[in-house]
């Protein structure tokens, strides 16, 4: 059964049926790791789901932080959404050009800002295109819409809170990076970072949660993947990754299986990996 929950994941069929809804807002949140040679904004301009606005993860972020695309202050989030014509009372659907990658980060960001009527398009733009569905190359005319943001502080963790959880082992820390980066046998894509992982953390590569077509696996398979990674789902979970993008895929999966007590470590390895006073495990 395809996922169709307007608060977590919706299918391409669901989006096609609701495309003309006046209170639907679609966001293209494509973002790629440095070195992939893909330009998400140029791809958006060449073709996007009809009515989609482009959501720039790097720009709609905390410009005061040296870390990549940290969650923005609520005022900045509200003003950017308002300008895109996204606001209170809207059902938001987020997709990306990879299938299911960076869209989960924007899903998490909307929820972090208190906007719960937000879903990721399961399989993203690749699935939409593979099914021969329509694209357009003109951005929509955006009329400003009032947006209220109420930051949900419990949904995000900072380095001090994660260090405490690592020491006390009172929450499961789950790392979405690939196994070689987690073990420290493969260098980090960002220069200057140490290799390895947060002590006591478990590794669940985000790709293991996805089907070959970029859709998310069914809930039973997601639960089994967390359990196979040694995650005790009776406990609170903190998700982490390289820079807080793929961690949100784990957060989305937790929400799909009904695990509500989860938070995302926004600084992730981009922060932890640069400070020598923070312990690192390898292997």
| 40 Cβ neighbours under 8 A, 6+ residues apart | 28, 30, 31, 32, 54, 96, 97
Residue indicated by tokens 């895109």 = 84
Q: How far is 28 from 40, CA to CA, in rounded Å?
A: 9
C-alpha–C-alpha distance, residues 14 and 24, integer Å:
12
First to last CA, the chain: 38
Question: Could you say which of 27, 60, 193, 241 is catalytic?
Answer: 241
- What is the rounded distance in angstroms from the CA atom of residue 161 to the CA atom of residue 1? 38
Q: Tell me if residue 241 is catalytic.
A: yes
**Residues sharing a CB contact under 8 Å with residue 121, sequence separation 6 or more, in sequence order:** 9, 10, 12, 15, 49, 93, 94, 95, 103, 127, 128
Q: Under a CB-based contact definition with an 8 Å cutoff, are residues 203 and 137 in contact?
A: no
> Could you list the active site residues?
241
């Amino acid at each position: 059964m395809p996922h169709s929950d307007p608060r977590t994941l919706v299918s391409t069929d669901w989006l096609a049926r609701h495309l003309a809804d006046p209170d639907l807002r679609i966001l293209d949140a494509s973002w790629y790791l440095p070195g992939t040679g893909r330009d998400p904004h140029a791809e958006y301009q060449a073709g996007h789901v009809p009515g989609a606005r482009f959501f720039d993860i790097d720009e709609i972020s905390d410009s005061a932080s040296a870390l990549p695309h940290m969650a923005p202050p609520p005022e900045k989030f509200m003003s950017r959404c308002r300008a895109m014509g996204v606001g209170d009372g809207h059902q938001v659907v987020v997709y990306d050009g990879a299938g299911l990658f960076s869209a989960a980060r924007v899903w998490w960001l909307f929820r972090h800002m208190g906007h719960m009527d937000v879903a990721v398009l399961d399989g993203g733009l690749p699935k939409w295109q593979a099914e021969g569905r329509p694209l357009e190359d003109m951005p929509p005319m955006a009329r400003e819409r009032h947006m209220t943001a109420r930051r949900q502080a419990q949904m995000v963790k900072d380095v001090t809170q994660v260090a405490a959880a690592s020491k006390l082992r009172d929450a499961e820390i789950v790392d979405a990076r690939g196994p070689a980066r987690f073990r420290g046998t493969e260098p980090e894509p960002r220069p200057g970072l140490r290799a390895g992982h947060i002590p006591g953390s478990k590794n669940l590569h985000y790709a293991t949660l996805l089907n070959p077509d970029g859709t998310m696996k069914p809930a039973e398979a997601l639960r089994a993947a967390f359990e196979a990674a040694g995650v005790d789902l009776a406990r609170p979970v903190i998700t982490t990754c390289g820079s807080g993008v793929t961690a949100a895929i784990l957060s989305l999966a937790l929400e799909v299986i009904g695990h509500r007590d989860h938070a995302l470590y926004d600084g992730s390895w981009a922060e932890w990996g640069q400070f020598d006073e923070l312990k690192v495990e390898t292997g």
